[in-house]
Structure 1
């Protein structure tokens, strides 16, 4: 009983949403493996998302994420997704975790479904774009989790096998770059959902996620409007201006049609609130990162201006005429010393000393 108590205690410590989602992934993936092993079918359209058949199986827009078509993919998913969901479920709660999973799974699948149909209309190649691809797995959810980690602990450094080191905020774009390369070389399915998952997760966390732990004056707030989580900071500075113009235009249109929920009366970017999932610890880490950035900028500017200051300080004494120091007058032996209670008088400037010299 002592041997079995440890696994049972570990399973009981896992939050319910994480436990149920992990169990569903194992069960549905095992069912897919059994169907592939016993049958001759290439695709299973009632489990995976096939663009030409998903209209008849609409539940696959959500359940296709529970299917991993290879044992390696299943192992990688189980190593990364359940521990991450466990962390965020304790941070956000069960309801917000379920919303996050649904958003990161269904919206990328819907976008991929529409994108395949657009490709079919443009090329009339139904065998490839409608029935030649099946979207599956949790790649989009993994991207969303990386985006959530970037929001909560952006400056945290991860290390894999003592060789690969990177900060958390660099991982989503690295995964996105990998998706872009795989898509361009011909592996559109399923790697393109990584890009859609990144966009869906950022929009949800930026504008729609309800902040359950922190409130501003008792008002419910949504999203993370901090400047460090803005869209432009995901890209190199070279493209900040066009992305900023596009993002501001889309944001103004969405605000005009009330597509974005109202948050606190003052936005953080105009000096208002600063809500970060994780409470004070995550907010302190974000403030620390901003402070370090400001300190680096100050040190860079001071080091750039120090040579000119040194040059001006060295040239100033040369411009002024040098004045010889006043000559010290040696007192005669017969002069009595000043008592400790009297003040000392400079002999060079006293009238009596000048009369004596005359």
Structure 2
């Protein structure tokens, strides 16, 4: 990609992989296409009946699109959404998020299709292709809902105004409607639903809340206990109480199974405070980390000066007598100089 686009490394790799795999898939399908059968590439795309011997397809299938419409949508999503999130979370945090929201929805969709085949005996369930960047699209929207929950998007010159947490549910409904057309299959509905739940669960309970450089904060704090990121906040106000009641019951079951851990009072207070770096805009976490790093370096500088001053005072023997006619006056109130500073003492006039 051209350097002038200023894309972070993981986002650049995603776009290159998306284009290369989608073009390769289209070329193979075009070369082997016939009127009698549809062609799938089981070593690139996850197909329950054919891809078990290609386990890497649980990851690669997320970056394979089957038509120009979905390819364009995927490219724009990764270009804008990936660039924003990678700068907000760092490349390592963004890469972990991508692995979680890519592999888990594919595995869940694979399992559901196999269960449907076991119940109905219809072979078409296991021949359904599970591919596309839909898990990334819905997961990015969930992440934006966490980072900027109060941001409002205005559409059609102010006719429609929606808060960011409303977009994941709209995306789920859009995918469901498109699955009724030839553009998307039933697997897309399974992917968008499972990715919605997976991304929210990961960000809510498991993702590290502070970057590694935040040494003054506890590094074990995970998830987001804020009320603005509760599961019910994705739904309209009339159904929020019902969704909250159901989600609380499910959460209680997960806690009893030790899958999730209840938030402590410290987690809740941290999520409400200004020190919750995960909720900051891109650049805010980096600036705060640089400030804390500068303070740590300053404290280390002071400690090194104290140690150096003590070692010097022990190594030098006391003066046995005046070595010249010029008396030497002790300065008991002088302080050791900081590293990188030059102490200034005025020249004394010789005694006449």
TM-score for both structures, normalised by structure 1: 0.68
Structure 1 unpaired stretches of 5+: 1-6, 284-358
Counterpart-to-counterpart distance in 1, 2:217 and 2:237: 36
The equivalent of 1:260 in structure 2 is 260
Q: CA deviation at 1:52?
A: 1.5
Report Cα offsets for 1:235-263 as digits up to 9, x if no partner. 23444444334323332343344433687
How many pairs were matched up? 272
CA distance in 1, matches of 2:17, 2:281: 34
Q: Say if 1:254 and 1:14 are closer, same or farther in 2 by CA, change over 3 A.
A: same
Q: Deviations over 1:21-61 (max 9, x none)?
A: 11111111111111122122511111111121232222111
Q: Residues 204-215 of structure 1: matches in 2 within 5 Å?
A: 204-213=202-211
- Larger deviation, residues 98-107 vs 141-150: 98-107
Q: Deviations over 1:258-308 (max 9, x none)?
A: 43368766231xx4543352437999xxxxxxxxxxxxxxxxxxxxxxxxx
What SS does the aligned partner of 2:132 have? coil
Pick closer, same or farther for the CA change 1:251–1:9 going to 2, 3 Å: same
Alignment counterpart, residue 143 of structure 1, candidates 138, 151, 163:
138
Residue 150 (structure 2) aligned to one of 135, 150, 155: 155
Deviation string, structure 1 residues 182-213 (Cα, Å, up to 9, x no partner): 45789413233111111111111101111234
Equivalent of 1:118, from 106, 115, 119? 115
Counterpart-to-counterpart distance in 1, 2:2 and 2:176: 42
C-alpha separation in 1, matches of 2:102 and 2:281: 30
Shift, 1:232, TM fit: 1.7
Match of 2:15 in 1: 22
Structure 2 partner of 1:188: 186
State the distance in 1 between where 2:17 and 2:181 align.
32
- Asked whether the 8 Å contact 1:220–1:264 carries over to 2, the reply is no
Report which of the two has the higher share of helix: 1
Larger Rg computed on CA atoms = 1
Residue 279 (structure 1) aligns with: 280
1:117 shift after superposition: 1.1
Alignment CA distance shift 1:216-1:54 (3 Å) = farther
Gaps of 5+ in 2: 285-352
Aligned residue among 172, 175, 181 for 1:179: 175
Report the TM-score when normalising by structure 2: 0.69
Distance (Å, rounded) in 2 between the aligned partners of 1:8 and 1:282:
23
- Aligned partners of 2:113, 2:140: CA distance in 1, in Å? 25
